Amino acid sequence: MPEGHTIHRLALDQQADLAGRVVGASAAQARFAAGAARLDGQVLVQAEAWGKHLFHTYEDGDVLHVHLGLIGTWRRRTPTAPTADPDGDHPGASGSPARGSAGVVAARDGAVLPEPSATTRLRLAADGVAWDLVGPMRCAVVTPDERDEVTAKLGPDPLRDDAEPERLWDRLQRSTKPVGLLLMEQDVVAGIGNVYRSELCNIVGIDPRRPGRKVTRDEFDALWRETVRQLRLGVKRNRIVTMRTEELDRPVSRLRRGEGRYVYKQDRCGTELEVFPLAGRTTWRCPRCQPR
């Protein structure tokens, strides 16, 4: 499941591509046809993320709520070579889409977007760029109040300016659950997944099985700072690389998927890692760096 940095990066990219423009919305799957029709032709005001949830707010007050779940993806589509129609015209070449035009939207040079696949739940298109949503756990048009009901159940998101770290500190101090489990609970802190859970505990030197209330204030402050730093780097790089640049043996751009981490599926310390299940997921711990 994509972690919070991925959703925030999607929000930034979609804000750049679609916000302030008339958006053409269409659905290859009938299950979301009504929702797409409701959004079609509206101007996107804002794309934002809270943890693993993505929200689009439109000018008429409608809110698109998307949670990718385990298999969902957004695919950015750009135009292919121009294809003229029988009369020599290029469909949609005028620029921003009109209602019902999201299936094929042309760039200003006449190049045409590829048709969405049959598995596309939703396509959003504007000015020759489209975003295709495939396989989400949730895709719904909701009201602002319904969006607020969702976010009210989420913990603080370290990537948001309105995050309140004291909420997380309070939850930890009142809990005997393992800190590694608490970090995965989205109502405790939003956006952290299994990779960041293992890496953050290692960086701060906390055994993920330690009870939350046994985390000291200094450890918590270090944990929050490192969480914010790591997630921001994840947004910037659009990937998870937790090691510092000076610790890497080559540039980040040359790292293969999964490289550049301390304990998640690899051993950078030289000490044999301990591997065990926690919160239903495999967790890695270095006995030397994270003493019990």
Which residues are tagged catalytic? 2-3, 52, 281
User: Residue 37 — φ and ψ, nearest 5°?
Assistant: -65, -35
Cβ atoms of residues 195 and 5 within 8 Å: no
Instruction: Say which residues have a Cβ less than 8 Å from residue 75's Cβ, sequence separation at least 6.
Output: 131, 132, 134
Length of the chain: 292
Q: Based on the number of CB atoms within 10 Å of its own CB, is 150 exposed (0-12), middle (13-18) or buried (19 or more)?
A: middle
Question: In the chain, where does DSSP find H-type helix?
Answer: 4-18, 33-39, 144-152, 165-173, 179-182, 194-204, 217-237
- Pairing mode, if any, of strands 44-50 and 63-67? unpaired
Q: Can you say how many angstroms the Cα of residue 32 is from the centroid of all Cα atoms in its chain?
A: 21
Q: How far apart are the first and last CA of the chain?
A: 29
Cβ atoms of residues 150 and 65 within 8 Å: yes
The C-alpha atoms of residue 276 and residue 186 are separated, in whole angstroms, by 21
